Amino acid sequence: MRTVHSFMIFGALTGAVACGDIDNGSQVRDRGATETPTTPTGGAGGAGAGTGNGTASADSGSSNPGTGDSTGTDDEAEARRRRKDAGTGSAGSAGTGGAAGTGGTAGTGGTTGTAGGDAGVALDAKGAGGSTGAKDGGVDDSAAGWLHTAGNHLYRGTSIFHGRGANFHDTRSCNACAYSAPNVAEVNRRADELIDNWKANFIRFDLESEATADNRVQWQGILDDPTYQANVKTMVTHVTAKGAYVLLALWIDPTTTPNELPTAATNLVWGKLANMFKDDPRVLYGLTNEPHNDTDPTVWAAMNTSVAAIRAVETQAGTPPHIISVQGTQQWARRLDYYVTHPITAGGGVNIIYETHVYDPATEFNALFEGPGKTLPVVIGEFGEQDSDALMQRAEAADISYLAWTFHGRCPPNLLVDNSGGGCGVGMTLTPSPFGQKVKTRLATAW
């Protein structure tokens, strides 16, 4: 998503722009489209400093994997830019937390499962070679719920982990709330809605930091802003305490290269995060957002080095290796082909999953996730509305976890209606958009 986000146009203003991390080349644009990219136009801004709410729509076609991106990527770039178009507004009052749900029942897939205890979250899992289980099915690795990989799947105990949910933003909120003080209570209110009412059991938590303030109130990263660091810990813990799993992702981070590869500076950030969450079994790590316009070997080496940095922290702490998600090497994280023949080797290649962002028509699903998923443990880290019903159905058939973009009203493609009035959206009614309703309906059905 970030891809396009970076496209966001700030405009000559003191505020944010449109929001966008949108679809990695896709959300907004839905990859299969062929429309001509449009020039972002200024719209009404929020009640805060910014007034330029421009969004650009473009789409990119798909191509065969190679050593460089050979497809149009205007979409992605555009999505990135959107990130900045969220607009600004003043912070509202804190939302109230939702009530915890009831614990899951024992799983039937694989070997006999222990009674689930995850509040409000249906952690459906299929036993390895067995029938579909229900709510925390299968035997857990420990009472805490550590995940692990084996073969081409991600497991919780002896059962394949069935993670479903959405991308979810921190207090900066796709730049929509970066111009006001952080509001952790609002983020937690939205998490309650997504987990308790939409029934998501898996969230990609998108961390967002910038190199410069540009009139923002909150913008620095984990290493430079102690308040942000503490807030991230609080928000992630709120989600995991409800029983959901969190894929902690460096969505927008100034330490990555222009092509979104992790660097030595990025690895320092991951060292800090790995230490912060070393004892939380429900936290997974997503190294970067959407690699693009670089060579396969270069992307692979950067990812492998980041994995090694995280494993070094875990080894020193004596904690189990968390699941680490490495993003596709080409086309804004779409392509996983190179990893099929060159899997990550750092840390013995243990507990690595391979993340693709899908903003393409159904004709591309086999190339993007079904094919690679026959060899690798795959996760769909982002997808847009295009052929989304088919994507969710086919991902479930292949036992591949998936995360929609995004639980927001101003960071297209949006799962929520924009009831913010052009501002930050604190306290707004969280109404599903047409795309959001599709996802919410699917999450309510058994897998």
Mind listing the pLDDT tens digit for each residue in 177-191?
999 999 999 999 999
The predicted structure's pLDDT at residue 215 = 97
For the chain, give the percent of residues with pLDDT over 90.
68
**Is 147-443 a CATH 3.30.450.40 domain?**
no
* C-beta atoms surrounding 226 within 10 Å: 10
The predicted structure's pLDDT at residue 295 = 98
Residue with tokens 């952790």: 184
**pLDDT single digits (tens) 155-214:** 999 999 999 999 999 999 999 999 999 999 999 999 999 999 999 999 999 999 999 999
The predicted structure's pLDDT at residue 1 = 58
Domain range annotation of the chain: 147-443
The predicted structure's pLDDT at residue 144 = 63
What distance in Å separates the CA atoms of residue 421 and residue 412, rounded to the nearest whole number?
A: 16
Q: Tell me the whole-structure pTM to 2 decimals.
A: 0.76
**pLDDT single digits (tens) 260-270:** 999 999 999 99
Q: Is the pLDDT of residue 77 over 70?
A: no
Q: Is the pLDDT of residue 296 over 80?
A: yes
The predicted structure's pLDDT at residue 24 = 39
* C-beta atoms surrounding 20 within 10 Å: 39
Beta strands at 378-383 and 352-358: parallel, antiparallel or unpaired: parallel
The predicted structure's pLDDT at residue 357 = 98
**pLDDT single digits (tens) 126-147:** 444 333 333 333 333 444 699 9
Mean pLDDT, all residues of the chain: 78
- Residues 152-179 as b or e (16 or more Cβ within 10 Å = b): bbbbbbbbbbbbbbbbbbbbbbbbbbbb
- Phi-psi map region of 355: left, alpha, beta (phi>0 left; psi -120 to 50 alpha): beta
pLDDT-derived band at 70 (thresholds 50, 70, 90) equals very low
The predicted structure's pLDDT at residue 148 = 97
The predicted structure's pLDDT at residue 222 = 97
**pLDDT single digits (tens) 25-65:** 443 333 333 223 333 333 333 333 333 333 333 333 333 33
| Residue 413, preceding peptide bond in cis (omega within 30° of 0) | yes
